[in-house]
Amino acid sequence: MFITFEGTEGCGKSTLIRNLSTRLQTLGVPHLVTREPGGTRTAEEIRKIILNEEMDPLTELFLYEAARAEHFKTTIAPALKQGNWVLCDRFTDSTLAYQGYARGIQLPMIRTLNRIASQRRSPDLTFFLDLPVEIGLSRASDPNRFEREGVEFQKKVRKGFLEIAKKEKKRFRVIRVTDLDPEQVCEKVMRALRKHL
Ligand code: TYD
């Protein structure tokens, strides 16, 4: 299973992935936890540049895709091949939502680049943790470049994710996390995963 986790800022993805990993470990499910941008030494270096430097939107897009190509080929694909589950914090849908819906780069071009970088492998399941963007942003203690873009930008990102979810009902699971504690979010995701265990 290749499972990705998406959301706007401060939605609790990292906590969820940590909790899920503990559950899977207890159940004896071999898995890899990784993230984008990052997950390999080269991609983590690219991550530092993307998150810290100002740049043109196209440069940003290509850097995300470069990091992804490296990450997918050297880390995700081999892990899946060996029979591991892969839990990835953000993936191709983030590029559509942030660089496409929010920054305004054409979606078909991003879809093409996404396909190339991920060798045409889509996630089997994608969980979108949905939280009002104002709440999420208020949680950011050390805001990155994207969090500093503010509420309107984050709203476009959220709308983008929800549109993708509408188009890809089989793959996408939207979880409204506003009134849930981390344990409840983890339980909801485990329920969706149980039939694959
Ligand atoms: P990070 O600090 O990991 O944010 P979060 O905890 O919210 O995931 O930084 C990753 C940032 O990169 C995040 O703001 C979303 C953004 N991003 C894109 O804009 N495009 C992408 O393709 C990916 C993978 C991430």
**Ligand 1 geometric centre to CA of 120 (Å):** 21
| Domain extent for 39 | 2-196
* 44 close to 72: Cβ distance less than 8 angstroms: no
CATH of the domain at 140: 3.40.50.300
Nearest CA to ligand 1 atom 4: 9
Q: How many structural domains is the chain composed of?
A: 1
Looking at the CA of residue 50, tell me the nearest atom of ligand 1.
Answer: 12
SS3 per residue for the chain: CEEEEEECCCCCHHHHHHHHHHHHHHCCCCEEEEECCCCCHHHHHHHHHHHHCCCCHHHHHHHHHHHHHHHHHHHHHHHHHCCCEEEEECCHHHHHHHHHHHCCCCHHHHHHHHHHHCCCCCCCEEEEEECCHHHHHHHCCCCCCCHHHCHHHHHHHHHHHHHHHHHCCCCEEEEECCCCCHHHHHHHHHHHHHCCC
Of 65 and 138, the structure prediction assigns the larger pLDDT to: 65
Which protein residues touch ligand 1 with a CB less than 6 Å away? 9, 13, 36-37, 51, 64, 90, 94-95, 98-99, 144, 146
Nearest CA to ligand 1 atom 2: 144
Average pLDDT over residues 143-164: 93
Q: How confident is the model at residue 40 (pLDDT cuts 50, 70, 90)?
A: very high
Q: Which is nearest to 118 in space by CA: 68, 78, 61, 82?
A: 68
pTM (global) more than 0.95:
yes
Average pLDDT score, the chain: 96
pLDDT tens digit sequence for 102-117: 999 999 999 999 999 9
**Ligand 1 geometric centre to CA of 44 (Å):** 12
Nearest CA to ligand 1 atom 22: 95
**Ligand 1 geometric centre to CA of 65 (Å):** 13
